[in-house]
């Protein structure tokens, strides 16, 4: 079966935020409600599942869940609220979520957010418009359809990897020779090509190539999660938290400060 994927080409993005608006509309996420610790309203939030990071050099970088091929968030969820679909998108069932926030701690990209304005806060993130595509209501994610420059496109992962390589090979002077998401943490379904480093999107070089939950995922698949999820899952969580702290200490004073502070604020969201 083919794996659904998204390829975002940073060189084509004009920062119009049509993708952000389309996502908000189709998912009825409501108005942005920035918390006092947020540096800007354009951070990911429970009401903003995709966003555009604006760099001073006029680069616009789309941020969203990477839909990991072996997602750490799925492996640590003690009640199975997060699920990896056979087609690739990582989705969740808000009715099962108990608000433990393990997924927030485990995600190497700092993606999941919570609806803190609700009395019972639940996890929120991009779901690649899974159900609506599955039901045949739409043919591609709303954010993709809304993009006027085709900076972000949808398709089969292998085909998009080939397209990414083609662009790099045809214009080697334009792109960095790397497809972000091809191998990191076992590969992701959201891929990037770019003319600038995307380390600030948590793609730093120390990300392992093998899946993060590899040491615990097989066990968790076979044993009731409620009993083992917390203990075993936290082993992987420890590695990620430790790495994040290391990167934040190292990154102090860099130009990507606002994105880092966004990630560091997650523990509050």
Segment lying near ligand SF4 (by CB under 6 A), choices 92-100, 123-131, 232-240, 261-269? 123-131
Contact between 266 and ligand SF4 by CB under 6 A: the answer reads: no
Contact between 66 and ligand SF4 by CB under 6 A: the answer reads: yes
Chain centre distance of CA 158: 19
Contact between 16 and ligand SF4 by CB under 6 A: the answer reads: yes
Tell the smallest beta-carbon distance from residue 137 to ligand SF4 (Å): 12
Contact between 62 and ligand SF4 by CB under 6 A: the answer reads: yes
Contact between 90 and ligand SF4 by CB under 6 A: the answer reads: yes
112 contact partners, CB below 8 Å, separation of at least 6 = 65, 73, 103, 104, 123, 124, 125
Contact between 73 and ligand SF4 by CB under 6 A: the answer reads: yes
Nearest to 195 by CA among 63, 6, 58: 58
Please, is 87 exposed, middle or buried when counting C-beta atoms within 10 Å of its C-beta (0-12, 13-18, 19+)?
middle
222 contact partners, CB below 8 Å, separation of at least 6 = none
Contact predicate 141/133, CB 8 Å:
yes
Segment lying near ligand SF4 (by CB under 6 A), choices 15-23, 30-38, 40-48, 227-235? 15-23
Count CA within 13 A, CB hemisphere, residue 36: 0
Select 86 or 253, whichever has its Cβ closest to ligand SF4: 86
Nearest to 47 by CA among 27, 62, 66, 67: 27
Tell the smallest beta-carbon distance from residue 253 to ligand SF4 (Å): 26
Which member of 38, 50, 115, 194 binds ligand SF4 (CB under 6 A)? 50
Select 88 or 252, whichever has its Cβ closest to ligand SF4: 88
Contact between 125 and ligand SF4 by CB under 6 A: the answer reads: yes
- Give the per-residue contact string, 151-170, with ligand SF4 (x = CB under 6 A; - = no): xx------------------
Select 172 or 174, whichever has its Cβ closest to ligand SF4: 174
Nearest to 8 by CA among 183, 204, 188: 188
Contact between 209 and ligand SF4 by CB under 6 A: the answer reads: no
Tell the smallest beta-carbon distance from residue 138 to ligand SF4 (Å): 9
Please state, in angstroms and rounded to a whole number, the distance separating the CA atoms of residues 251 and 172: 29
Nearest to 146 by CA among 236, 22, 235: 22
- How many other CB atoms are found less than 10 A from the CB of residue 148? 10
Specify which residues 52 forms β-bridges with. 62
Select 153 or 251, whichever has its Cβ closest to ligand SF4: 153
100 contact partners, CB below 8 Å, separation of at least 6 = 77, 78
Tell the smallest beta-carbon distance from residue 115 to ligand SF4 (Å): 15
Select 14 or 96, whichever has its Cβ closest to ligand SF4: 14
Binding site for ligand SF4 (CB under 6 A): 13-19, 22-23, 26-27, 49-50, 52, 60, 62, 64-68, 71-73, 90, 107, 109, 111-112, 125-129, 141-143, 146-147, 149, 151-152
């Amino acid at each position: 079966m083919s794996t659904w994927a998204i390829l975002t080409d940073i060189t084509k993005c004009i920062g119009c935020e049509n993708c952000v608006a389309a996502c908000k509309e189709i998912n009825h996420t409501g108005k942005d409600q920035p918390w006092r610790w947020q540096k800007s309203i354009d951070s990911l939030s429970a009401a903003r599942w995709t966003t555009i990071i604006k760099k001073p050099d006029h680069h616009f970088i789309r941020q969203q869940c990477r839909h990991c091929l072996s997602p750490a968030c799925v492996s640590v969820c003690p009640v199975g609220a997060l699920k990896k679909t056979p087609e690739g998108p990582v989705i969740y069932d808000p009715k099962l979520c108990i608000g433990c926030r393990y997924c927030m701690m485990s995600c190497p990209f700092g993606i999941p957010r919570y609806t803190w304005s609700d009395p019972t806060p639940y996890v929120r993130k991009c779901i690649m418009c899974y159900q609506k595509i599955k039901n045949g209501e739409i043919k591609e994610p709303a954010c993709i359809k809304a993009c006027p420059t085709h900076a972000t496109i949808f398709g089969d992962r292998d085909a998009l990897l080939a397209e990414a390589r083609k662009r790099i090979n045809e214009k080697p002077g334009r792109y960095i020779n790397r497809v972000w998401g091809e191998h990191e943490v076992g590969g992701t379904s959201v891929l990037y090509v770019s003319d600038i480093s995307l380390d600030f999107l948590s793609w730093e070089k120390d990300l392992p190539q093998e899946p993060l939950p590899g040491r615990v995922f097989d066990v968790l698949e076979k044993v009731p999660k409620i009993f083992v999820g917390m203990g075993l899952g936290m082993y992987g969580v420890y590695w990620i938290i430790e790495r994040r702290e290391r990167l934040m200490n190292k990154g102090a004073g860099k130009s990507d400060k606002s994105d880092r502070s966004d990630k560091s604020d997650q523990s509050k969201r």
